[in-house]
């Protein structure tokens, strides 16, 4: 039990630590003051989303190799959890932006990349919804997911280069790693990121199991 599920406990402990320590740790006194603490939560959403979307991409490729329905379920649920993280990331970002920049949405390549990612994956869900045949749905969905993920990654990498300037931090490194982070914050930041990613996998696993049971009920196996 513990041997298999240790990472779930780890996720819980890490997030509990991130929430408690996130509010008591000393943050440097910069322009954005105490809202700096949002870093532990807002950036975590981005990490969780990336982990989920990459998982979805990998399982879509695996589906096309073997046509095993279970791989497709994982791909869909990973994208579903990725969408949830994406929306939470946008909401936490809006709250932060409202304080820092005075408006919830600014025209910025990072924000546009996040929004376009949401459009792409919402379209993925609509595409799947409009195909009735199970195998066809899985196959077409997998093809679209691979195609779209690739173009979205290009978009996220290319657009900041085109725009030149971005007011969103974390510009120099492709994944949003705050490079000159205060040491006192670092000891909260890294565990928090790992915790959010593990939480994503946990939610995904539960959703996959629900989906499998639903499928078995549909097939009259139980």
Contact map string, positions 101 to 140, toward another protein, x by CB under 8 A: ---------------x--xx--x--xx--xxx---x--xx
Nearer to another protein, 113 or 200 (CB): 113
Residue 54 makes contact with another protein by CB under 8 A: no
In whole angstroms, the minimum distance from the beta carbon of 131 to another protein comes to 5
Taking the C-alpha atoms of residue 9 and residue 55, their distance in angstroms, rounded to an integer, is: 21
Tell the burial category of 20 from Cβ atoms under 10 Å away from its Cβ (0-12, 13-18, 19+). Answer: exposed
Taking the C-alpha atoms of residue 3 and residue 34, their distance in angstroms, rounded to an integer, is: 39
Residue 87 makes contact with another protein by CB under 8 A: no
Q: Which of residues 192-221 bind another protein (CB under 8 A)?
A: none
Distance of CA 127 to the CA centre of its chain: 21
Tell the burial category of 3 from Cβ atoms under 10 Å away from its Cβ (0-12, 13-18, 19+). Answer: exposed
Taking CB under 8 A as the criterion, the residue among 134, 151, 187, 217 binding another protein is: 151
Tell me how far CA of residue 20 lies from CA of 1, 25, 92, 221, in angstroms: 27, 9, 18, 45
Residue 155 makes contact with another protein by CB under 8 A: yes
Q: How many residues bind another protein (CB under 8 A)?
A: 28
Nearer to another protein, 103 or 130 (CB): 130
In whole angstroms, the minimum distance from the beta carbon of 130 to another protein comes to 4
In whole angstroms, the minimum distance from the beta carbon of 88 to another protein comes to 20
Residue 165 in tokens: 């300037």
DSSP 8-state class, residue 103:
S
Residue 20 makes contact with another protein by CB under 8 A: no
How many other C-beta atoms lie within 10 A of the C-beta of residue 217? 10
Distance of CA 143 to the CA centre of its chain: 20
Residue 161 makes contact with another protein by CB under 8 A: yes
Nearer to another protein, 43 or 138 (CB): 138
**What residue ranges bind another protein (CB under 8 A)?**
64, 116, 119-120, 123, 126-127, 130-132, 136, 139-140, 142-144, 146-148, 150-152, 154-155, 158-159, 161-162
């Amino acid at each position: 039990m513990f041997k298999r599920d240790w990472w779930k406990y780890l996720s819980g402990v890490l997030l509990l630590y991130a929430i408690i320590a996130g509010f008591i740790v000393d943050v440097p006194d910069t322009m954005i003051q105490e809202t700096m603490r949002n870093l532990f939560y807002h950036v975590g959403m981005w990490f969780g989303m990336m982990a989920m979307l990459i998982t979805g991409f990998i399982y879509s490729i695996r589906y096309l190799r073997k046509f095993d329905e279970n791989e497709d379920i994982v791909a869909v649920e990973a994208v579903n959890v990725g969408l949830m993280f994406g929306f939470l990331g946008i909401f936490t970002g809006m709250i932060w932006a409202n304080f820092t920049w005075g408006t919830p949405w600014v025209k910025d390549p990072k924000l546009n990349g996040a929004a376009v990612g949401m459009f792409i994956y919402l379209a993925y869900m609509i595409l799947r919804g409009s195909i009735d045949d199970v195998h066809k749905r899985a196959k077409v969905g997998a093809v679209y997911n691979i195609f779209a993920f690739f173009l979205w990654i290009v978009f996220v990498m290319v657009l900041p280069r085109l725009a030149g300037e971005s007011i969103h931090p974390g510009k120099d490194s492709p994944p949003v790693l705050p490079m000159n982070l205060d040491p006192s914050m670092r000891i909260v930041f890294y565990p928090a990121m790992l915790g959010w990613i593990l939480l994503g996998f946990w939610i995904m696993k539960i959703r996959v199991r629900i989906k499998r049971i639903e499928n078995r009920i549909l097939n009259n196996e139980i």
